[in-house]
Amino acid sequence: MQADSAPAIELKGINKSFGPVHANKDIDLAIRPGSIHGIIGENGAGKSTLMSILYGFYQADSGSISMKGQTVTIPDSQTAIELGIGMVHQHFMLVDNFTVLENIILGAEGGNILNSAMRRARAELLRLEEEYGLKVDPDALIEDLPVGLQQRVEILKALYRGADVLILDEPTGVLTPAEADHLFRILEQLKAQGKTVLLITHKLREIMAITDEVSVMRRGEMVATRQTAQTSPEELAELMVGRRVLLQVEKQPASPGETLMEVRDLVVRDGRGVDMVKGVSFDLRAGEIVGIAGVAGNGQSELLQALAGMRPIHSGSIKLHGQTLQADPAHLRDMRLAHVPEDRHHEGLVLPFEENENAILGYHADERFLSGLLLNIAAMREDAEEKIEKFDIRPPNARLKTANFSGGNQQKIVLAREMERDPNVLLVGQPTRGVDVGAIEFIHKRIIEMRDAGKAVLLVSVELDEVRSLSDRIIVMFDGRIAGERSPQTGENELGLLMAGIDNATSGQAA
């Protein structure tokens, strides 16, 4: 193969182990220049490890890396940058109290006189913004930008350093569907300018929407590479998981029973004293799933936190089984209300704790887990092992630190803890955020099983497909209010208009 037709990146025989875990096994991969190449796989399949080797974070135990036909050695990320490789991480590497411009030149000031470097950087940044359609205020503080714009800064930072190959690791995990679509347009523009993009994800929608080719990893091995136009979500899901996966939720029509939760004229404020939930009222009945749809930031999070007792209400009322609720999570657990929070890392888990400790978090005063005044460690571990088996948590190790589980398995730990308490009402936020396709299927089945067992489920998700497929009723929120209620058969366009505050049932007026 001639150098000018050689792959932009070629990996041959890459192996990497962490102790007994063989994270990458004899990986071969070739990436065409000027293409968008997807790499998919379940959580823990080895995708991020492979890209970390390419970016110089890790060193392969064996194998080789070539760029445009030339073998290269990448001992660190600085070498990767010098070779024209940029990476946008799943968790952004930005300094919150620095401006956009300061973040972009950080570590690449290029001279002893900072003012001169800043002027040159500003001019280059404006050129890059214009060329790639990546508009962002260079003087804005990172902490004041929404996540979609923060991600744009990360892309600009890589381009400023001369990246010809751009790696994006789970880039839409923190984006709304609209922000994700805008990101795809940016990637198409990068491709049109001759850049090569590596997209690491487990979301089949993204793969089918944006990539030219896709490679599938499973348990550390590269099992297939396909032209995207010649494959399907069903085939890719089966390759990822090693079995047929149901991509559509299968459920019978709901049979709603008595009203279990009543919310009336609820007003909830954020830490600044701003009303985020503005007079919301609805009922939640036994044997139904009510989905809350809306663009992130329209009050769904504050509503969920208030219902779970994590945030005080300013006015209005919440009743469970006819009793007015106190803003106390322990009281709500006693009333058989369970809560799977939107942010598992900050609200659902203590990452340095062992799995068995997180498996009883919030329920540790249960007499089953006590031995006098002390915790019964043996009972805790036995309980954790039962949940691990029931929820297929991997690795099946109740003594492992929770931080060492993949995101999908961390989510299963939270779900197992809350669902296995047999609550009457389950509040669940972003149930499949950062979760792979096999685990999504499992989580959806368990939520449907709870509904069919007569439980009431309130579902908050930014994934509109998830809300439509799981819910029996959909409440759409916009600007802290209920913009409308619809059936799950309602078209995506109509729901999208409601999410933007436009109700076509009222002649296009703002909802």
Residue 112 shares a structural domain with residue 170: yes
Residue 105 shares a structural domain with residue 132: yes
Residue 165 shares a structural domain with residue 272: no
pLDDT at 510 over 50: no
Give the span between the Cα atoms of 376 and 2, in whole angstroms: 67
Domain residue limits at 434:
259-348+424-510
| pLDDT bucket at 340, cuts 50 / 70 / 90 | very high
Q: What is the mean pLDDT of the chain?
A: 90
Per the domain annotation, does 71 fall within a domain? yes
Per the domain annotation, does 369 fall within a domain? no
pLDDT at 456 over 70: yes
Identify the CATH number of the domain in which residue 286 sits. Answer: 3.40.50.300
Residue 437 shares a structural domain with residue 295: yes
pLDDT tens sequence across 474-487: 999 999 999 999 99
pLDDT tens sequence across 405-430: 877 889 999 999 999 999 999 999 99
Q: What is the pLDDT of residue 173?
A: 67
pLDDT tens sequence across 484-499: 999 999 988 888 889 8
Residue 89 shares a structural domain with residue 48: yes
User: Averaged over 301-322, what is the pLDDT?
Assistant: 95
8 Å CB contact between 165 and 72: no
Residue 31 shares a structural domain with residue 100: yes
Q: Is 333 helix (H, G, I), strand (E, B) or coil?
A: helix
Give the span between the Cα atoms of 102 and 477, in whole angstroms: 36
Please indicate, yes or no, whether the overall pTM of this predicted structure exceeds 0.75. no
As a residue count, the chain comes to 511
| pLDDT bucket at 110, cuts 50 / 70 / 90 | low
**Complete DSSP assignment for 421-436:** T--SEEEEESTTTT--
Per the domain annotation, does 249 fall within a domain? no
Per the domain annotation, does 307 fall within a domain? yes
Number of domains comprising the chain? 2
Per the domain annotation, does 355 fall within a domain? no
Residue 226 shares a structural domain with residue 282: no
User: Averaged over 331-357, what is the pLDDT?
Assistant: 94
Looking at 214, 241, 268, the residue that finishes a domain is 241
pLDDT at 371 over 80: yes
Q: What is the pLDDT of residue 485?
A: 96
Give the span between the Cα atoms of 280 and 422, in whole angstroms: 27
pLDDT tens sequence across 226-254: 999 999 999 998 998 888 776 678 899 99
The answer to which of 62-71, 264-273, 328-337, 429-438 has the lowest mean pLDDT is 429-438
Q: What is the pLDDT of residue 195?
A: 95
Q: Cis omega (within 30 of 0) on the bond before 396? A: no
Residue 206 shares a structural domain with residue 267: no
Percent of the chain with pLDDT over 70: 95
Residue 205 shares a structural domain with residue 297: no
Give the span between the Cα atoms of 93 and 107, in whole angstroms: 12
Higher model confidence: residue 182 or residue 446? Answer: 446
User: Averaged over 248-267, what is the pLDDT?
Assistant: 93
- Least Cα distance to 431 among 420, 447, 448, 455 occurs for 447
Higher model confidence: residue 439 or residue 335? Answer: 335
Per the domain annotation, does 278 fall within a domain? yes
Hey, how many other C-beta atoms are within 10 angstroms of the C-beta on 310?
A: 16
User: Averaged over 340-362, what is the pLDDT?
Assistant: 94
pLDDT tens sequence across 391-402: 989 889 999 999
Contacts by 439-444, CB closer than 8 A, 24 or more apart: 439/42, 439/43, 439/408, 439/409, 439/411, 439/412, 441/245, 441/246, 441/247, 442/391, 442/392, 442/412, 443/411, 443/412, 443/415, 444/249, 444/469, 444/470
Q: What is the pLDDT of residue 177?
A: 66
Q: What is the pLDDT of residue 45?
A: 85
Looking at 241, 274, 306, the residue that finishes a domain is 241
Per the domain annotation, does 208 fall within a domain? yes
Residue 206 shares a structural domain with residue 65: yes
Residue 214 shares a structural domain with residue 263: no
- Least Cα distance to 458 among 250, 318, 278 occurs for 318
Dump strand ranges (E) for 250-361.
Answer: 259-269, 275-285, 288-293, 315-320, 323-324, 337-340
- Least Cα distance to 150 among 167, 160, 137, 164 occurs for 137
pLDDT at 507 over 50: no
Per the domain annotation, does 101 fall within a domain? yes
User: Averaged over 284-301, what is the pLDDT?
Assistant: 93
Looking at 211, 241, 271, the residue that finishes a domain is 241
Strand order in the sheet with 288-293: 337-340, 425-429, 456-460, 288-293, 473-478, 481-486
Q: What is the pLDDT of residue 506?
A: 56
Residue 132 shares a structural domain with residue 45: yes
pLDDT at 366 over 80: yes
Percent of the chain with pLDDT over 90: 63
Contacts of residue 358, defined as CB under 8 A and 6 or more positions apart, other chains included, come to 349, 350, 402, 413, 414, 417
pLDDT tens sequence across 7-47: 999 999 999 998 888 999 999 999 999 999 999 987 778 89
